[in-house]
Structure 1
């Protein structure tokens, strides 16, 4: 590891990990260490151990002589969101960037894209594109070139002062969809988002990841989505009330499709969390019926994810939601 000069870094790259070892972490660190065209004094790496295995020999990372690496281990595991929040509390950079322990940068000029974006002045959020690696049934890999998305933690820089000003933080009681809250909120509240037309990040295939491991049942934990959405709407009500009606109506319509797409969810748990969200926003119910109907059709258009779903029972779904709200 390099000797750190007494200057404030431009970016703190926060890498949370749970049971990854030095070998796994070296993939991400190597992709950072090989970046070109940047001053590494402007980069710090923060490794956040979120319970699980401790690193047995962090000195192995001295191999990455371009990098200033700080390592902090926490005994109690709070999930990726809590680990990222802990990393932010340790960070000294003007921007936060989050890299998962099982991912890497797409190419050696990835960080330079971000540095160029902020070279003539600060921005609140900088968003780039990413590559998704998938796996076919025969074991071979395929790659998707995805457009930037609001809700994922990767391929983004978040301005530290902006995050503080908006009071943004990672939720400590939502371990699924936690990045949807933080990242989408940061972008929706911002009036200064830079969108880069560059692929900078590789979301590598990991069958044990939160999203891909069937045992973790990511897609059917709709109660966690409803809880996250409750916090999301609460923050919108505080910081951008002019957006609240649309976001509430859209969330109700979106959940209609999510329930159809992801059967097997815990209905009782979802009802409890959805009821809390609806009650908090009951003042919006009557005035947002048109938005709900509008978004039902928007999400059902040809070419969309939900185009083939039956929507004939939407009125029944709304009646159920209203009953939850009034109960």
Structure 2
């Protein structure tokens, strides 16, 4: 907890505005800088990936049959939180920092030079499981989410070369085959979206080479 009264932020939100499917507040991340000292980053309030600083209605989770997937040991929070937020019709945001994500050098996301970032095959698997649920519960968004995955995974594997390239391509191709009924392949619109991400100053994918995007799609 970021401070002693952190839980009151959630209780007060319910008292003031009633029950909600999900409550989302802010969290702060502690990380090492280039000199080995600690620095801190307050994450955006509209975070649909990390499980930190969130409350979920048990009734809502049971109604939608949402849980952490037993096959995922990495990106398990991205799967669960992402689905829960996307399917929810009532999310209440609390503009207060309630949780501190403290640096732990033994964490899976810190070990071996952050090899976590290079587990692209597992990222493809997580997205395949995610899209299966979207096909069932929110089919109108399946094509959009599939295209977003392809754009994201291209940028990801360019910035963080996969730890096991053959495994990544097997997992990626399996996803494309499973959802081939809604996948329309390369388009200039997708290329424009990739290029726009590359050009966002300070963005996650700033400066990533997008010249190979068409070949990546046409020759998976």
TM-score by length of 2: 0.92
Q: CA RMSD in A?
A: 1.7
Asked if 1 retains the 8 angstrom alpha-carbon contact of 2:49 and 2:77, the reply is: yes
> Residues 114-129 of structure 1 correspond to what in structure 2 (within 5 A)?
114-119=10-15, 120-129=17-26
Contact 1:250 1:291 in 2 (8 A): no
- Tell me the CA shift for residue 299 of structure 1: 2.1
Does 2:205 align with 1:306?
A: yes
Give the one of 20, 25, 28 matched to 1:131. 28
Change (3 A) 1:165 1:298: farther
Alpha-carbon displacement from aligned partner over 1:270-315 (angstroms, at most 9, x marks no partner): 1111122111110112278466334313422322211211111111
Tell me by how many angstroms 1:264 deviates.
Answer: 4.4
- Distance, in Å, in 1 between the alignment partners of 2:22 and 2:188 is 32
Q: Identify the residue that residue 147 of structure 1 maps to in structure 2.
A: 44
Q: Is the 8 A contact 1:177 1:228 kept in 2?
A: yes
Q: Does 1 or 2 have the higher relative contact order (CA < 8 Å, sep 6+)?
A: 2
Equivalent of 2:107 in 199, 205, 209:
209
Bigger share in strand: 1
Pairing 1:198–2:96 present: yes
Partner of 1:157: 55
Matching residue within 87, 102, 107 for 2:3: 107
Measure the CA separation in 2 of the matches of 1:219 and 1:206.
Answer: 16
Residue 260 and residue 216 in structure 1: after superposition, are their counterparts in 2 closer, same or farther (change >3 A)? closer
Please name the residue that 2:73 is paired with. Answer: 175
Q: Decide which of 129, 143, 167 is 1:231's aligned counterpart.
A: 129
Larger Rg: 1
- CA deviations on 1:76-118 (whole Å, 9 max, x unpaired) are xxxxxxxxxxxxxxxxxxxxxxxxxxxxx11122111111112
- 1:202 deviation in Å? 0.2
Question: Where do residues 20-99 of structure 1 align in structure 2 (5 Å cutoff)?
Answer: none
Gaps of 5+ in 2: none
| Unmatched runs of 5 consecutive residues or more in structure 1 | 1-104, 322-327
Q: Find the residue that maps to 1:217 and give its secondary structure.
A: helix
Asked whether 1:317 is paired with 2:216, we answer yes
Measure, in 2, the Cα distance between the counterparts of 1:318 and 1:184.
25
Q: Distance in 2 between matches of 1:313 and 1:271?
A: 15
Between Structure 1 and Structure 2, how many residues are aligned? 217
Please give the per-residue CA displacement for 1:11-47, whole angstroms capped at 9, x wherever unaligned: xxxxxxxxxxxxxxxxxxxxxxxxxxxxxxxxxxxxx
Q: CA deviation at 1:121?
A: 2.2
The DSSP-based 3-state class of the residue aligned with 1:283 is coil
Superposition deviation, residue 139 in structure 1: 3.3
Distance 1:199 1:290 in 2: 41
Counterpart CA distance in 2 for 1:267 and 1:125 is 37
Tell me if the contact between 2:26 and 2:94 (Cα under 8 Å) persists in the aligned partners.
yes
* Partner of residue 240, structure 1: 138
Cross-structure match for 1:259: 157
